[in-house]
């Protein structure tokens, strides 16, 4: 793997791990990692997601999905496209729940069923560090990892 690609993958995993840890208790989460690892559309979406979880008393529990990251394309030493298929542990799935009741939030059935391939756009920020810029989900077919 090329140095830019490896650095982008490492930054994505750091962002993913910080996000899953913060999702367990959004009311008390230190979200400083968002500014470090995200920019652009990704940062806006993450900030909106945490504001929603806090306002509506939501959190996640279970085993976080395995991101199964692959390098799709190295566009330059400052831009890399990754893919990820979020594989869920069916014995202890990662689910959103209402913190007041402990009840899982119902999820509508989808066809085809998840997981779906994520296309992840990484780029270097003004500091030179890799940051997540955008994520696109392909919900037209199930991915396999």
Of 2-11, 20-29, 80-89, 113-122, the one with minimum mean pLDDT is 2-11
Tens digits of residue pLDDT in 68-127 = 999 999 999 999 999 999 999 999 999 999 999 999 999 999 999 999 999 999 999 888
144 touches 117 (CB < 8 A): no
Sequential DSSP letters for 26-75: GGG--THHHHHHB-HHHHHHHHHHHHHHHHHTEEEESPPPB--EEEEEEE
Phi, psi of 92 (to 5 degrees): -150, 65
pTM over 0.75: yes
Q: At residue 2, does pLDDT exceed 80?
A: no
Q: How confident is the model at residue 145 (pLDDT cuts 50, 70, 90)?
A: confident
Three-class SS state of 121: strand
pLDDT for position 127: 86
List of domains in the chain: 3-136 (3.10.450)
């Amino acid at each position: 793997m090329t140095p830019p690609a490896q650095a982008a993958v490492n930054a994505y995993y750091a962002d993913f791990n910080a996000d899953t840890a913060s999702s367990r208790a959004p009311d008390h989460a230190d979200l400083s990692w968002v500014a470090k690892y995200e920019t652009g559309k990704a940062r806006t979406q993450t900030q909106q997601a945490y504001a929603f979880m806090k306002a509506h008393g939501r959190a996640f529990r279970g085993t976080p999905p395995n991101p199964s990251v692959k390098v799709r394309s190295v566009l330059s030493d400052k831009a890399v496209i990754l893919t990820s298929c979020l594989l869920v542990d069916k014995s202890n799935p990662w689910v959103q729940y209402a913190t007041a009741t402990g009840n899982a939030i119902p999820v509508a059935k989808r066809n085809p069923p998840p997981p779906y391939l994520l296309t992840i756009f990484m780029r270097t920020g003004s500091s030179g560090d890799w940051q997540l810029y955008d994520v696109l989900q392909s919900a037209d077919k199930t991915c396999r990892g």
